[in-house]
Structure 1
Amino acid sequence: MLLPACSTVSVNKQASSKTISAQRGNIVTSNKLSSDTASTLLSAGLNDQACMQHFDLCLAQLTDSMLNKHYRSALAILSELHYAKAKQLAKSQDCSDALARPPIDPYYANAALSETQTDKQRQNTSACLTSYQARLFDAIKSSYTYLFYDRLEHDFEGAEAAKSSQPNRIPTDLDIQTQDIYNAASNDVLTQLYESTDNAHKLLGDTANIKVSYLPTLKALDDSNEAAIANSSPLQGEPTDQIKVMKMQVDNYNLDIYLPNENNYLQNAHKQASALADLVSTYDLRLSGLNSISKRPGLGISLVASLDNRYTTTIRQLLVSSLSGKLSKAASNGSMDDSEMSARIYPTGHLLMTGLIIPTGDSVLDVLSSEQLDIHLYNPYRSESVTILGDNYPLTANFSAGYGLWLAENQLDGVGYLNLLTRRQEASLPKLFMLEPYDPNKRVLIMIHGLASSPATWVNLTNDIFNDDKLRDNYQVWQIFYPTNLPILENRYQIQKLLTATYEQTDPGGQNRASKNSVIISHSMGAIIARMMLSDDNLTKNLDALEDRNIFSNDKRQIDTMLKQAFGEEELGMRFKLRTLPQVDTAVFLSAPFQGTDYADRWFTRAIRRVIYLPLSIVKTVTDNLATIATQGDLAQNPLGALYLQNGASQLSDKSSFIQLTKNIAINNRITYHSIIANNDSDITQGLAQLQPNGAKIDLSQAAPEENNRNSATSSNHNAADMTALPNEPLVSSVTVNEDISQALTERLSDGIVPYTSAHLDGAASETVISGGHSIQANPQTILTLRRILHTQLQQPLP
């Protein structure tokens, strides 16, 4: 009867996923100790909770139980225990008091403590945080030695012989668990170094006076009054070199902070030494709304550093400026003030960094006893790897994080619509956003959105470029944000001025790779603007021809004369005489209404056009008398008036003076251009695919209906060769076409807004028809086509 009672082992089946999860889980992933660490504690007769309560005594007994002190896995176990203790301390009342908010009402339960109580709490909190930091540092040192001192050959006699006799290791679950601990502990140290309970005083904002509740014993050793983490100018050497910019002390530990040897990091256009307003770890971010997350696996912690004076734009800001009734300088003096061009060039305010903490020491024992930690912050665009103890390791990166934060912070979609519809006193001029720090060795990819849109329209394309190693390493993205209610000629002029100023500001001599072989990708109205920036036509000649086709009354001729006098011949010349951007050699046009569209004349579109206002400063540019004429609608019949005082949406009509003026302009011969055209009729796309089968791509973006699959699976003859048993033929998602296509097909082809006959351009290097509506910029087939074009451009020989 006693024998069955002694048997406590049973065997049950469980899902393999549970087995793997149990084997690979640890204190970081499951909030429980790993099976290896738990087993080691049990073997030593130690309870995990008792071990946390009497931590130092537990470590001493555990060390005594490990008979082989040089056994490598002991370091992994110790690192997990140190991190488990740090997590326990972080949740304790004494440590959490450091984050307590000020009392709301002194007469209630959260009233301020007495002086004695406050002093006691301060002592408890200081002791708790001191222990917490020590446990994090110990976790880093133990996991670091486990990961990088392979087989501990640096510390015991006969190590070299042991090394030669052992086979090469493959990564184990313990390796992955220990790397998780190294990353998690490093993440906690890095992010807390930049936190403060007082949001008005960011840590590291002033090295002469640092007060941080998280680190009460923290003090700066650098007496400089400049921003502690901003390197004002690079030193001699490579941009990938690391330079020490700050020295800190945390209890008995010395922390040296290193930054990349380049002046593009921790600086922006308005200050030459701007400090970080925030440092966020991607461990703490959940990015949603992106089609994928672009990552590079490797060592370290991916961080996003936000500059303190970065530009932001929100719907609320736009509404406030629209309702304030205050005239800007541009409106008050009767002209658009574009003298502050550099103020509309925005380097990225969210810098990507990869943080790595490296304890100093020449051996395992040196590292474990070291009180010197070096904190390295790398530019992940330039530094792809790091050398540790003579071996090269990849550095981790999250290339979507900064982009995601920028999009979330700026509400660009809503601002794009309000820029079109909101009546404003001042003219909102185009802006240029760099999505990464300027790199002189990368080609520039310029993106120009369409009507009532914003740079947010490019989210999937931009993210897929970040996710493509080849494209990410060779292209940097500049996105244009412009008010689509402005006359298109004015937008073209202002955008081209802005791009020219940006190239001159970043590379005055024009010698960098970034000043050559640039690419413009543009959609809808943006494509019309882009084509004008790639032409050398003189539109004033076309304007004369346009005027000759109209019979003017005396009043209308008077308006024409007044307009020319108001603008002046020189001003008109800058708007009407086109010049090709010298830095660009490739363009891609998406859903471009080069010949206009009748969609702009349909009743519901006309209703929208009535509420699209020109900024009043544009109207005042002509004179107050012409502003009165504009409100009466008399300018609609005047070619020059329609070109310059008609909003952008109205000018997309195939009957507008603007389309008549620009529809036949020629693109410079040195420009290679591609057209991507949408078609919302799947039957027509199928017809194109039959004519040009080699260019067709089958649509596998959606699975066949379950009913089709079931019918196929239960077919009576079960013959795999019987085609009738297969689901219906899938649709065609895109077709790359040549000029040998049926005119009958192209006349019917349209995206619902822009017909093929308007979007087609003779002489295009390629023309691709995508199944879908007008907004194809987010279509996976569009993005894939664009990526192919960019890869092809990279294969071309350099000039």
Structure 2
Amino acid sequence: MNHGKCVWIVRCVLLAGLLCLNACAMVGVSRIKLHESVNERRGDVIGTGRLSDRSVQSLNVVALNADDCERAFDACVETVLHSSGLTDEQRLSALSELWLARAIRSDRSKIDAEMSDQTLDAFLQAGRYAYAYLFYTKRQPSERSFELRQVQVIGFYNFSVQRVVTRFFQELPHLDKQWTQTQLAGWTVMRPEAGPKSVESTAEPTEPVELLSASTLRFNGLRNVYRRDGFGSEFVAVAPPDKPDNDVPWREPDYASMTGALLFDGTTLNDVLATRQVRVLVRDPYRDDSVTVAGREVPLAANFTAAYGVWLARSGFASQSIRSLLGREGGIKTPRVFLMQPYDPNRMTVIMLHGLASSPEAWINVSNEVMGDAELRRNYQVWEIYYPTNAPIAVNLANIRKALDTTFRHFDPSGKARASNNVVLIGHSMGGVIARLLVSSSGDRLWSVIPTRADLSPAKKARLRERLSPYLQFTPMPQVTRAVFLASPQRGTPYAQHTLARWFGNLIRLPANVIKEVASVSDLIKGDSESSTPMRIPNSIDNLSDKDPFIMAAADLPMSPAVRYHTIVGVYTPPGPLIDSSDGVVPYRSAHLDGAESELAIPSWHSVQETPAAILELRRILRLHTAAHSTAVSWSSEKSPSRNVAATANSWLPTN
């Protein structure tokens, strides 16, 4: 082969090599599905277990990758912290996620187990860098409101808060009651300064016995979970149960919503990055929509469903309500007034009464929807009445009225608070009958239901009247100005006389106090003859019959002219005239009330209160009531004798 040909071959080989090198350096492109693209951009160490794209990019800028940082974490953090190639926002957000990834990897504990100091330190570091990003970089949080990165960093912060506050709660039993600061994992945890409270308690505060992270709870049976996104992590604070000798009719919530946050000392970015001092902040989200942090007012995170859901899940109402109906051991004997939130003198009160064989569980979604509606939540607090449904209506009416009067006097002795005026009553089924009687005047119309002998002496007649007056003579509750009756048999129902209902009614045992009262009344009625037949008192199922003397006499009692009222009825029977319809238990003719401000018929079985249409109607009515009685809400300094869980939580983490 001659020299020229060899040179030509060498040149061709070199040219081919250069072309291959250029081909390898070219950029390729492929397409992925849109949802995969969104998942990649939104993914981070919390959701996927891997660093987010933004943190990976920041590491690439300083010639690092995720594997490098996992192998040599301290060196990686130092490089990211001091490299000049990153902005403060890139640096701080990446450091927050790196520390959070380290904390999650080392957090091998289960939900309630105690975490190690190393893990606690990592969560605090992650929270501090996120805190610095949010409040100590050049741009205001509002300037990044549309940026996904800020949403991710808020998530890093709130996740860290959740784990730190949980760990701190586990430390509380080891601290002195008067503690001001304590050392944990090389950090100084400062006790927040106690500030003025909107509602003060005269009772001794008690420490919660349990703290549940709301984000880890899932509920069956609740249609919606209502939250408010914002700063901090949501919890449920669990107070010790009431003492067995606590015979007052009201029950304040043993489960309360709480939001926790971490505040890191310092007034500049360098101060915050150097500090090892942190304060734990606690807020009641029902009273605080926002919180001031580093001179900026930011929205406060909240969960308005979790505490309610835990209360219902642990209540045991389902079986207890049946025991109460049958008069068996373990049932309740007197009405109770359950406050769904800590008492607030500046919110109007909604009182809910369940029906036969039921309990507060009848209002599962109704209460949740009221508390979940921001406008209604600002203006109302919910009380739920729980009463023994085996007792006659007249007995429950008197006892519920007494329980409510006592509760109002306890929380508002002057009766001038917004909570004690323009009250709304909501009753379902038998609870609706009782609710109507709570706003009605009896006069002397109900005495005809008591069979008395013509030969009774004047003295016995006077004693009989004195004994029965609490049950047969009443006036409207002055606090109530609106009522809603749902599927309520105001004129009774023929179904109470059906064979199955009568068989079930025969299983009911009346409360012992009612039997005793009946025996004494029966003795008075007998007159001088000892051969008279003992008096039989009807139970609750008897009372609901359209042939029952009490329900017939009470049907036309006049309601207070100060009360506006509404009806919601179910229509379950086949299509036809509304007047002939029924919800399967209560005929329309019985549930209908002349003079109602509104009436809504909903295709539904008897449990109409749980239908979305009924809940929407209740929300409409409550908004209407708010508009009619709107006043500026300002937190009162009036002392209220309240043992609420917000105050309970503040006994170990007081608010600023």
Aligned partner letter, 1:78: L
Q: Please name the residue that 2:183 is paired with.
A: 249
How many residues align? The count is 607
What is the CA distance between 1:509 and its match in structure 2?
Answer: 0.5
Structure 1 letter corresponding to 2:156: I
**One-letter identity of the residue aligned with 1:254:** T
Are the counterparts in 2 of residues 256 and 373 from structure 1 also a CA contact under 8 Å? yes
Give, in angstroms, the shift of residue 422 of structure 1.
4.2
Give the stretch that moved more between structures: 668-677 or 515-524. Answer: 668-677
Change (3 A) 1:481 1:8: farther
Q: Partner residue of 2:616? A: 784
Alignment check: 8 A CA contact 1:427 1:615 kept = no
Structure 1 pair 444–342 and aligned structure 2 pair: CA distance change class (3 A) = farther
Q: For residue 582 of structure 1, what is the aligned residue in structure 2?
A: 478
| 1:277 aligned residue | 209
How far apart, CA to CA, are the structure 2 residues paired with 1:562 and 1:341?
Answer: 41
- Which of 660, 667, 672 does residue 552 from structure 2 map onto? 660
Alignment of 1:37-186 (within 5 A): 37-63=55-81, 66-68=83-85, 70-91=87-108, 129-151=116-138, 168-186=143-161
Q: Secondary structure at the match of 1:770?
A: strand
Note if contact 2:324-2:330 (Cα within 8 Å) is conserved in structure 1: no
Cα distance, 1:146 vs structure 2: 0.8
Q: Which residue of 2 aligns with 1:793?
A: 625
Select which of 3, 12, 18 maps to 2:36. Answer: 18
Judging changes above 3 Å, is the alpha-carbon distance between structure 1 residues 273 and 388 closer, same or farther for their aligned structure 2 residues? closer
Cα separation, 2, equivalents of 1:343 and 1:605: 34
Distance of 2:24 and 2:150 partners within structure 1: 36
Q: CA deviation at 1:557?
A: 7.9
Of the structure 1 ranges 252-261 and 449-458, higher mean CA displacement relative to structure 2 is found in: 252-261
The share of aligned pairs that are identical, in percent, is: 32
What is the alpha-carbon distance in structure 1 between the residues aligned to residue 42 and residue 195 of structure 2? 35
How many angstroms apart in 1 are the aligned matches of 2:221 and 2:97?
Answer: 35
| 1:673 aligned counterpart, secondary structure | strand
In structure 1, what is the Cα distance between the partners aligned to 2:305 and 2:278? 29
Task: Identify if the C-alpha distance between structure 1 residues 73 and 45 changes in structure 2 by more than 3 Å, giving closer, same or farther.
Answer: closer
Residue 653 of structure 2 is aligned to residue 757 of structure 1: no
Instruction: Look up the match of 1:288.
Output: 220
For 1:133, give the aligned amino acid.
L
- Map Cα deviations across residues 160-188 of structure 1 (whole Å, 9 max, x no partner): xxx9xxx9545322212211111111111
Separation in 2 of the partners of 1:586 and 1:610? 36
Could you report, residue by residue, the CA deviation over 1:732-789 in whole angstroms, capped at 9, with x for unpaired residues?
xxxxxxxxxxxxx344122122112211222211122122122101011111111111
Preserved contact between residue 249 and residue 407 of structure 2 (Cα < 8 Å) = no
Aligned residues of 1:533 and 1:581 also touching (Cα < 8 A): yes
What is aligned with 1:613? 509
Alpha-carbon distance change, 147 to 426 in structure 1, aligned in 2, over 3 angstroms: closer
Structure 1 counterpart of 2:367: 462
Asked if structure 2 preserves the Cα contact closer than 8 Å seen for 1:260 and 1:378, the reply is: no
- The aligned residue for residue 5 of structure 2 is none
The structure-2 alpha-carbon separation of the partners of 1:797 and 1:479, relative to structure 1 and needing over 3 Å to count, comes to: closer
1:260, 1:400 → 2: CA distance?
27
Residue 575 of structure 2 aligns to a residue whose secondary structure is: helix
Alignment RMSD: 3.4
Whole-Å Cα distance in 2 between the matches of residues 537 and 625 of structure 1?
20
Q: TM-score, normalised by structure 1?
A: 0.70
Matches within 5 A, 1:565-714: 568-623=464-519, 641-642=535-536, 645-681=537-573, 683-684=575-576
Deviation at 1:614, TM superposition (A): 0.9
The letter for the 2-side match of 1:375 is V
**SS across alignment from 1:429:** coil
- Relative to structure 1, the CA distance from residue 301 to residue 506 in structure 2 (aligned partners, 3 Å threshold; closer, same or farther) is same
- Partners of 2:375 and 2:538 lie apart in 1 by 43
Partner of 2:277: 372
Give the deviation of 1:389 after TM superposition: 2.8
Determine which of 248, 256, 259 is the counterpart of 1:351. Answer: 256
User: Cα deviations across residues 518-549 of structure 1 (Å, max 9, x unaligned)?
Assistant: 0000011111111111112224x4323x46xx
Deviation of 1:596 (Å) = 0.9
Query: Is it true that 1:535 corresponds to 2:470 in the alignment?
Result: no
CA 1:73 to 1:646, structure 2 compared with 1: closer, same or farther past 3 Å?
same
Q: How far off is 1:571 after superposition?
A: 2.8
The amino acid that maps onto 2:596 is A
1:514 is aligned, of 407, 411, 419, to 419
Tell me the residue number matched to 2:229: 297
So what's the TM-score if we normalise by structure 2?
0.85
Change in Cα spacing, 1:574 to 1:36, as seen in structure 2 (3 Å) is same
Residues 392, 543 of structure 2: 8 Å contact kept: yes
Structure 1 Cα separation of the partners of residues 459 and 543 of structure 2: 18
Describe the shift of the 1:14–1:70 C-alpha distance in structure 2 as closer, same or farther (beyond 3 A): closer
Give the AA of the match of 1:248: T
**Distance in 1 separating the partners of 2:469 and 2:607:** 34
Relative distance call for 1:77 and 1:344 in structure 2 (3 A) is same
- The separation in 2 between residues aligned to 1:426 and 1:186, in whole angstroms, is 41
Deviation track 1:537-583 (CA, whole Å, cap 9, x = no partner) reads 224x4323x46xx7x8xxx889x999978974323111111121111
Q: Could you tell me which amino acid in structure 2 is paired with residue 250 of structure 1?
A: L
Match of 1:475 in 2: 380
The alpha-carbon distance between structure 1 residues 764 and 169, as it changes in their structure 2 partners (threshold 3 A), is closer
Unaligned runs of 5+ in 2: 1-15, 526-530, 632-656
2:648 paired residue number: none
Q: Judge conservation of contact 1:311–1:349 (CA < 8 Å) in 2.
A: no
Q: What CA deviation, in whole Å up to 9, does each residue of 1:134-171 have, x standing for no partner?
A: 22221111111111123279xxxxxxxxx9xxx95453
Change (3 A) 1:63 1:249: closer
